[in-house]
Amino acid sequence: MRKISIVSQVGFVLLYIACVSMATILAGCSKEVEVTTCDGTGRAMVAKNATGQALADGLMDQWKRDHPDRDWVTGEKERHELKPPADNSALLEGGQAQGHTYGQHDKRDLLVWARETEKFALEGSRIFHSSELLGSTVAVSCDMCHPHAANTHPETYPKFQTQLGRVVLLRDMINWCIEQPVRGKRLEPDDPAMRALEAYIMAQRSGTVMNYGKH
């Protein structure tokens, strides 16, 4: 009997604490507001009287924790040097008619183009340097023979690849490497990974004269 009464007393205490907590929450509800991040992935309840900055900081911290790879572009660029895309600043120097595609752009536009193009090539760099992303079964990645995409000479394609007995494009040679030394599965020509790899390899040969058919 005595034992049971102790258990029930403990149960009562626990129930009491839970009720008090509930009450606190209910009371707080009127003073709090739910805030979500603009991409809809972050959500937080904050006091209505919190300052905007504190609110934003809190949400940002949470979003950063949830997205450890958020800054992959900066990271990839730091790890693997990429040649910068062409300088288009001349477009800002007037002389073009209104309505022309390249007639009405400002600095910000140029920045967006450069960033987006660079990001495309950097995605290729990420794949180029990762045996996992390449799907290698023997832990081999492109950079093991082609640091900074050296010796890939994309400017020489199309050319008659003597070892294959036919005319090939850069993507055919990428697939040859993926199947042979890398021992992975070939990519479709429009596979995002193939497009990114082509972008990276060509970006790294920026400034080289096109010279198709060269051996």
Partner 1 sequence: MKKLKSIETRYMEDRSRFFHDLKNLDRRSFLKVSAAAMGAAVASGVIPSGSFQSVSVAQGNAASGGSAAFRFAYISDSHLYEKKINDRFVRSLLRAVEDVNNLDPQPDFVFYGGDLAQLGQPRELELGAQILKNVKAPMKMMVGEHDWYFDLGQKWRQMFGEPTYSWDHKGIHMVTLNSVVERDFWTARGLTPMQRMMTVAGLDNGVQSPFSVGEEQRQWLRKDLAAYADETPLIVFSHSPLYKLYKKWNFWTDDADEVQAILKRFKQVVVIHGHTHQLLTNRIGNIHFHGMLSTAWPWPYAPEGMPELTIEMNRPDPFNPNDGCGDGQVHVHADGLVDKVYNLWNRGPITVSKAYTASWGRQSVPPMPNRASY
Out of 61, 66, 81, 188, name the contact with partner 1 by CB under 8 A.
81
Residue 42 CB: number of other CB atoms within 10 A? 19
Paired with 34 in beta bridges are 45
Out of 177, 178, 201, 203, name the contact with partner 1 by CB under 8 A.
177
Considering only residues 8-47, where is the footprint of partner 1 by CB under 8 A?
Answer: none
Nearer to partner 1, 42 or 171 (CB): 171
Which two three-digit tokens encode residue 142? Answer: 């492109």
| Cα–Cα separations (whole angstroms), residue 129 to 61, 67, 88, 206 | 30, 22, 29, 19
**Does residue 150 belong to the site contacting partner 1 (CB under 8 A)?**
yes
**Min dist. Cβ of residue 177 to partner 1 (A):** 7
d(CA 80, CA 142): 13
Interacting stretch for partner 1, rule CB under 8 A, among 28-36, 106-114, 116-124, 134-142?
Answer: 134-142
**Does residue 4 belong to the site contacting partner 1 (CB under 8 A)?**
no
Q: What is the DSSP string of 69-86?
A: TTTHHHHHHHHS--PPPP
**Residues contributing to the site for partner 1 (CB under 8 A):** 78-81, 129, 138-140, 143-148, 150-151, 153, 163, 176-177, 180-181
